[in-house]
Amino acid sequence: MSKDAIDHYHQLLVDKHLDSTKELLSEATRSDGLSFGERAVCTVLRPYLIDEETYNFVTHVSRLVMRGLSAIGQRLLIAENLRRHLDLTEEEEQIALIDTGFGAADVSARLDGFLSGNEFNFVEYNAESPGGLAYGDALAEAFRAMPIMREFGKRFSFRTIAIRATVFDRLVAAYHRWGGAGLPQIAIIDWRGVSTYNEFLLMQRYFESRGCRVRIADPDEIEYRNGKLFIEDFKIDLVYKRVVTGELLAKYGLTHPIIDAVRDRAVCMSNGFGVQMLYKKAIFAIASDPVFDNLFEPQVREALRVHIPWTRKVRECKTVYRDQTVDLIDFISDNREHLVLKPNGEYGGKGVMLGWEASDDEWQKAISESLNQSFIVQERVPVGREVFPSAIDGELRMDERYLDLDPYVWDGLDIEGCGVRLSSLALLNVSAGGGSATPMFVINEM
């Protein structure tokens, strides 16, 4: 069905809707600030179309995988020997063990995955409050209002998931579990001048439309006085934390007012600092290694085996690969074409090396350097590809793009909605400076 729907959409675009689609997308980009800095978030002229059956498969698999990651997360809270596998610094370990007061630390998160044919593989878990949710939501609204979608809807019914509404509802629910009452005053916190600032404005406008007072602030603007957290005279009840925990620690250590207030239960903060453990890419080394199978129920264990690629921390050791015992470093050295090296604690594609795109010398150097740092090695997975239309120099282009499909995770276990990223490069990351986002539409034939 998806192929028929895509072909039908493209025909509508070519026949009569190209100009209006380009103009309305450009207008939405300007009016809603749908950009990373000066670069448009969406540079294609079609949403991602997924049929209901496939979407149900995606959510079912994602829930099983998240039951596994959640089981690891719960165990990490009490098992110091397991935490050692994550290579946490002393400060990271201290901050990660601060109780949120509302349950699962990852109120809103994202599984990064690739759907290719009948295979769905997850390569990372973005447990820090992930970017892009508001952008995708606003893009979905923009596409829904276009003439091409109205005509498309005569043959295929479609629906989108209201992501900003879900973020808001989950934040307020966490605030109430924490002990708050009514609607909180919300502070959206990240560094001044980040490229995602426009997304904060989208969230601010939506939260205010639901009745909350909202401020956007840099961590330097926060004060903790008289047992309350403030931005000037604005008292903060709920911190919607968009700043990455590791960056907060790198600048302030454990002495920042937000850290003190969260520890004292003087403010509710989402996501909680406990996501610092789930955020580490080494959690996939735990999920994919049979040594840790006892952590998982049988159905979850099977889901992890099928949908999490083989992943190991880079170190001198023996390990198992497809039922064979191998020397890990020799194995990495000999299998460049099938492996990826990733820093354990980075994000946004920083430091990632795709073995099949590296020379032998580059690969050997990367292995040597990774042994002196905290890295993981992960098996290559198939990456989905689809043709998407775009307008380049005024001309319609139909180009194949790499595509990742990233289910959104709520309260550590629930799955609803997906982020979609496109790129002409195998390393897909919009915030790193390439590619495009596009909204997801779940479709059915009329």
- What is the reported pTM? 0.94
Amino acid identity of residue 166, one-letter, is: T
Residue 241 pLDDT > 60: yes
The predicted structure's pLDDT at residue 395: 87
Q: Do you know the residue count of the chain?
A: 446
pLDDT of 446 higher than 80: no
pLDDT band at 392 (very low <50, low <70, confident <90, very high): confident
Q: What three-state secondary structure class fits 341?
A: strand
Q: At what angle do helices 133-144 and 197-209 cross, to 10 degrees?
A: 70
Axis crossing angle, helix 298-307 with helix 52-78, rounded to the nearest 10 = 110
Among candidate residues 139, 127, 20, the one with its CA nearest the CA of residue 420: 139
Report, as an integer, the average pLDDT of 74-98: 95
Residue of 340, 343, 344 whose CA lies nearest to 356: 340
Fill in the amino acid letter for 17. Answer: H
**Domains of the chain, start order:** 2-279+384-445 (3.40.50.1760), 310-379 (3.30.1490)
CB 278 within 8 A of CB 372: no
pLDDT in tens, 92-104: 999 999 999 999 9
Residues 125-184 pLDDT 10s: 999 878 899 999 999 999 999 999 999 999 999 999 999 999 999 999 999 999 999 999
Does 428 score more than 80 pLDDT? no
pLDDT higher than threshold 50 for residue 191: yes
Sheet-wide strand order for 311-313: 311-313, 375-379, 339-343, 353-354
Q: What residue has token string 């990651």?
A: 69
Q: What is the mean pLDDT of the chain?
A: 94
**If you count DSSP H runs as helices and E runs as strands, how many of each does the chain have, helices first?**
16, 24
